[in-house]
Amino acid sequence: MFKRVPVVCLLCICLFLAACGQGSSPQNDPEKMQLTIATMPSIDKVPLVIGMEKGFFAAHGLEVINQNFQSPGDRDAALSSGSLDGVMTDLVALAFYLEAGMNWKVTSLVQTGFAVLASPGSGIKHLSDIEPSHTYGISLNGLIEYVADQAGSAQKILLPPVSSRVEQLLADRIDLTVVPEPYGLMAVKNGATMVATDADLDIRAAVMIFSDEAISGKRDAISAFYAGYKDSLDYLQTADPGDYIDLVIEKGDFAAEIGEVLRNMVFDPLQMPQDEQFFAVIDWMRQNEELTGRYYFSFADIVEDSFFK
């Protein structure tokens, strides 16, 4: 009996130490916050890529899962499935989502870039040169068409693929088009004329949206997202573009030409959209004969501005 006591004590000590070890095991740590964000390969995605690859989101305890889509249609199909927490999109698309009964709110602007381009042989150099007889090769019923209409009235030809628009423009088969960067810069290098940008037209309609479910159930995660996003913007304002361009191209599924855009890009601080911009978009949608929605939304009901104040 006396010989068994040390063995029993030893077993008790081992069990105690094992229990202590389990208490500090990563398996029992609180689950890391996580958000799934949908993007497309446009400029607004750059701070997201930087935040993921430089650890700015992780520093705030957040894991960001990025789902990159090549077309708005694929992105919107994923959005309707309920698998996404947030989406980088625009106010036109948001109005479609809301009209369809989806519950999403704007949480900030995101910075992107659109170029209004003229063909080499069109003779168009300025917005004032655009005439109704000119032809616009664009995608319809979205932000691209909205930008085109703000630039000037012309005949519209449906050309959804960006590559087709650039090809037709450079071949002088259309007079004008609107494309996201870096496609604008690529076209200019091949002979197109840069007529205006979305900034020239004072259009600030690219936005970050989160679902009502995420806003109510993942508030801490969204706050962490914006803390990391702000750190990314701070980094972009001071870093040498050469230190991150290759990383952005590789991880963001960008064309190499985006490097030239980023070298001249100044990223703005986080901001909320203005109600004037929202109502300008809504008025345009109501006047568009191809769109049948009512689009009666209160600006206050579709924004959530508490995450980065």
Mean pLDDT taken over the chain = 88
Instruction: Name the burial class of residue 142, with classes exposed (0-12), middle (13-18) and buried (19+) by CB atoms within 10 angstroms of its CB.
Output: middle
Q: What is the pLDDT of residues 133-181, one digit of tens each?
A: 999 999 999 999 999 999 999 999 999 888 899 999 999 999 999 998 8
CATH ID of 33-112+205-302, from 3.40.50.1400, 3.40.190.10, 3.40.50.720, 3.30.420.10: 3.40.190.10
- In this prediction, residue 20 carries a pLDDT of 42
> Does residue 109 have a pLDDT over 50?
yes
Q: Which two tokens stand for residue 237?
A: 């304002």
- In this prediction, residue 160 carries a pLDDT of 86
> Does residue 16 have a pLDDT over 90?
no
Answer whether 33-112+205-302 and 114-197 agree in fold: yes
Dihedral sign (CA 194, 195, 201, 205): negative
Sequence-separated (6 or more) residues with CB below 8 Å from residue 140:
156, 158, 290
Over range 215-231, report the average pLDDT.
97
Over range 262-278, report the average pLDDT.
92
High-pLDDT (> 70) share of the chain, %: 90
38 forms beta bridges with 67, 87
- In this prediction, residue 309 carries a pLDDT of 67
> Does residue 219 have a pLDDT over 90?
yes
- In this prediction, residue 26 carries a pLDDT of 34
* DSSP letters for 153-171: --EEEE--SHHHHHHHHHT
> Does residue 2 have a pLDDT over 80?
no
Which CATH number is 114-197 given?
A: 3.40.190.10
Q: What is the pLDDT of residues 68-80, one digit of tens each?
A: 987 777 888 888 8
Q: Where are the domains of the chain?
A: 33-112+205-302, 114-197
> Does residue 8 have a pLDDT over 70?
no
Confidence of residue 7 (pLDDT cuts 50, 70, 90): very low
What pTM did the predictor assign?
0.85
Cα–Cα distance for residue pair 256/96, rounded to 1 Å = 32
Q: What is the pLDDT of residues 18-55, one digit of tens each?
A: 444 443 333 334 568 999 999 988 889 999 999 999 99
Over range 191-205, report the average pLDDT.
96
